[in-house]
A and B are shown apart, each in its own frame.
Chain A
Amino acid sequence: MTELKAQEAQVKAEPDRRPVRRNGLTHGRGLVGVVLIGVIVLLGVLAPLLAPFSPQEQIEGANLLGPSGTHPFGTDEVNRDVFSRVLYGIRIDLFICLIAVPAGALLGGLIGLVASQTGIADVFAQRAFDVVLAFPPIILGIGIAAITGTGVLPVVCVVIGAELPLFGRLVRTATLKVRELPYVDAAESMGASRAWVLRKHIVPNILDSVIVQLALSASGAVFILSAMNFLGIGVKPPEPSLGGVLADAMAQLGSNTMYAVGPLLVIVVLVLGFQLIAQGLLAARRGGAS
């Protein structure tokens, strides 16, 4: 008997107990994503220092110049420096992402949590999500812009609208799944209240999937807001935005190719970077679960 007991008592410690979030971001794809996003964020934050010209400044004699040492992305049709406009465009795009995605996640998550608790709220939330999802984001954007006028506000609204059902459904399903697990049953059997179970067991255990979705949503948001700015229902010119600069460049493809390629490159890197982060987190979560 003693030998068996000793065997059972044997220590099986795994050295690695860092949270999944950190693991996913410091290895492989996740790391690449972090670096890509980090570079773009730095460019945006440091725009006032890095930009050789003001984004609105019209430089004399510099009409649709090709890339050069002074103008890395050349100049546009009204003599502005494209590189500077792209740097400032990053700022506004990231700002919208930073406001709208977490807002959508928070709101959607809360709705999802409430929906998972009561049947009637669930029915309402699900049908409301269906209605929101029925509109493609761009159509929704045009509709909102028709009421509010163009600007940052309709873009933020559309991104929130697009994220709301995603996070709502995700949190609801994850909550319903965790709620059936024996450790939640154990907590309830020991007399824990609903709020306790939510706070101590459910939220911490669904957080990982929410964070993965955040990264995915950020990637989707960059895409949506660029499209809206491109279509002219977003940020008002002459304020620079990535999509806006790209739209202006479309007419000038023959004169200065970098005018279009510059902003496009940044959009691609942002979408890709967030996707890679999401994949890295997901892979870390799968690895951690086993």
Chain B
Amino acid sequence: MTDPVLTIDGLSVRFPGATAVEDVSLALLPDEVLAVVGESGSGKSVTALAVLGLLPPGATATGSVAFDGQELLGLDEEALRRVRGARIALVFQEPSTALNPVERVGWQIGEVLRAHGVKSRQARAERVGELLGQVGIPPERARDYPHQFSGGQKQRIVLALALAADPDVLIADEPTTALDVTVQAEILALLRELQRGRRLAVLLITHNMGVVADLADRVAVMRDGRVLETQDVRRLFAAPSTEYARELLASVPRLGRQGRAVRPATEAAPVFAVDDLVVDYPGRKAALDRITLAVTPGEVLGLVGESGSGKTTLGRVAVGRLGAASGTVRLFGTDLAGLGRRELRALRKRIGVVHQDPAASLDPRRTVLESITEPLDVHRVGTPATRVARAEELLEQVALGRSYGSRLPRELSGGQRQRVALARALALEPDLLLADEPTSALDVSVQASVLELFAELQEAHGFACLFISHDLAVVNQVADRVAVMRNGQLVESGPTGEVLTRPSSAYTRALVDSVPVPDPDEQRARRLPTVLTSLKNTA
């Protein structure tokens, strides 16, 4: 067996008043991808930061981090700098903040080269072109600024930056989390290619089991600052040895898995319908372009698409927050065009809304009970006493219990906040629920329980739902029908099972194929080439 390039032994990281990482031991072999997975707060990112001595002030690290025979922990800043970038490179989640917006990308890569001893301007320019070529960016674009690139391209450039000094180890912290799924697929392919070509050792930090299945050779599962198990990727997915890993894997929604039982389509008048809808934002091309769509009573319509596809815009139209440039919008049979504020408010009484970010969608100064009674207060339903009773009943329904009523949002976890948001949305017994990415800010196990709750409530209350999500697997689990959007246009729509298994458009096909399957064998068998070709055909 070869010696590991990076050995973490008994690493503990303490913040004042809390321990973030406790007794973590990992060994990264040359030429392997070791994934560290875990949910938020598991300590996976802190571990990565500790390796390079990048912990925030106040944190103390004990134990040992050995790289190539050298102890990194406790090394002075000067010595650490010689290791960072040159020997161990780092790639972060958000590509747009990793690049300096006022400098050309070529210059930025050149700076790294200069810092690592490439003196001649000519040699630097050549090397920059070479690096950009390797990450799939035309070398002549070295003269462009970061804002001239898309998110995926920026992440490619960040990779070029990381690889500029020819490191032995790459630490990638959620490298594809901020990206759309088709772009993620491309970046994963690139990472794999670079790793193979350069025989890099990669420490991959991620929460996404699909990404793990795609890239990793070995996996370490972390929780509450500890490593629970380290396994070969195939063995982990086939037979996890810890209960937690088993539950984590079970929580991951899967595309292939049978979703909800499809209910027969009703002939009833739709609760929400748009016909030939066009929405413009000033000075830009149409945000929504000739959309025709309807949600029938009791039906869950999943609206999927990548960022900028217009799905959130359509959601805003549904609650009357955004007017149509042309076409009609009907809510419960009423045409929204020309409706006064008062009439619109009366219609909104019949809609519940759940936002993406549960931390921001609850007023930080209002207690849980006050938040849930707000819709009842606004529409003056019942007496203050009956409103409180109703709110308490809703708290029970979302499995929180009345004792939560007096808490403030900051005293709740993300999943609990989203349950409160759900309770608030249901307070008025709405006929239509608008859920905009309701689970994308949540950890996968929490997401699983919130989705379960959603399905129960939908069953019990029978509301129709416009469920907006970028996550096909989530939509597969909850939706009766799916509508796929791209660039403000409706690509296709139909029963969930049909659209996601036998899509009629090439774009949907590419979208479905891009979702990494949380199964190493399956994912490796089906991965990229097909996606790329199908994408190119649609572009």
Q: Assess whether A8 is interfacial by the CB under 8 Å rule.
A: yes
Q: Assess whether A49 is interfacial by the CB under 8 Å rule.
A: no
Q: Assess whether A201 is interfacial by the CB under 8 Å rule.
A: yes
CB distance from B433 to the nearest CB of A (A): 11
Q: Assess whether A239 is interfacial by the CB under 8 Å rule.
A: no
Q: Are A1 and B363 in contact (CB under 8 A)?
A: no
Chain A interface main SS type: helix
Given the interface pairs A190-B375, A205-B363, the reply to whether A4 lies near B449 with Cβ below 8 Å is yes
Q: Are B321 and A12 in contact (CB under 8 A)?
A: no
CB distance from B110 to the nearest CB of A (A): 38
> B365's closest neighbor in chain A, by CB?
A204
Q: Assess whether A131 is interfacial by the CB under 8 Å rule.
A: no
For chain A, residues 1 to 52, give those with C-beta under 8 angstroms from any C-beta of chain B.
1, 3-5, 7-10, 12-14, 17
Q: Are A201 and B378 in contact (CB under 8 A)?
A: no
Q: Are B375 and A3 in contact (CB under 8 A)?
A: no
CB distance from B127 to the nearest CB of A (A): 43
Q: Are A190 and B446 in contact (CB under 8 A)?
A: no
B321: chain A residues at CB < 8 Å are 185, 188-189
> How far apart sit A17 and B421, CA to CA, in the bound complex (Å)?
21
A268: chain B residues at CB < 8 Å are none
Given the interface pairs A182-B357, A182-B360, A201-B363, the reply to whether A191 lies near B408 with Cβ below 8 Å is no
B378: chain A residues at CB < 8 Å are 187, 190-193, 196
Q: Assess whether B102 is interfacial by the CB under 8 Å rule.
A: no
Of B50-58, B345-353, B460-468, B487-495, the one with at least 4 CB within 8 A of chain A: B345-353
Q: Are B362 and A13 in contact (CB under 8 A)?
A: no
Q: Assess whether A134 is interfacial by the CB under 8 Å rule.
A: no
CB distance from A118 to the nearest CB of B (A): 15
> How far apart sit A192 and B415, CA to CA, in the bound complex (Å)?
25
> How far apart sit A193 and B377, CA to CA, in the bound complex (Å)?
11
> B416's closest neighbor in chain A, by CB?
A8
Which residues from chain B sit less than 8 Å from chain A, CB to CB?
243-244, 247, 250-251, 319, 321, 341, 344-349, 351-353, 355-357, 360-366, 374-375, 378-379, 399-400, 407-408, 410-413, 415-416, 421, 424, 428, 434, 445-446, 448-449
Which residues from chain A sit less than 8 Å from chain B, CB to CB?
1, 3-5, 7-10, 12-14, 17, 181-183, 185-193, 196, 200-201, 204-205
A-B pairs, top 7 by smallest CB distance, nearest first, are: A191-B348, A191-B345, A182-B361, A4-B445, A189-B353, A182-B360, A190-B375
Supply 16 A–B pairs (Cβ within 8 Å), ascending by A. Answer: A3-B243, A5-B449, A8-B413, A8-B415, A8-B445, A14-B411, A186-B362, A187-B363, A187-B374, A190-B348, A190-B351, A190-B428, A191-B347, A191-B348, A193-B341, A204-B365
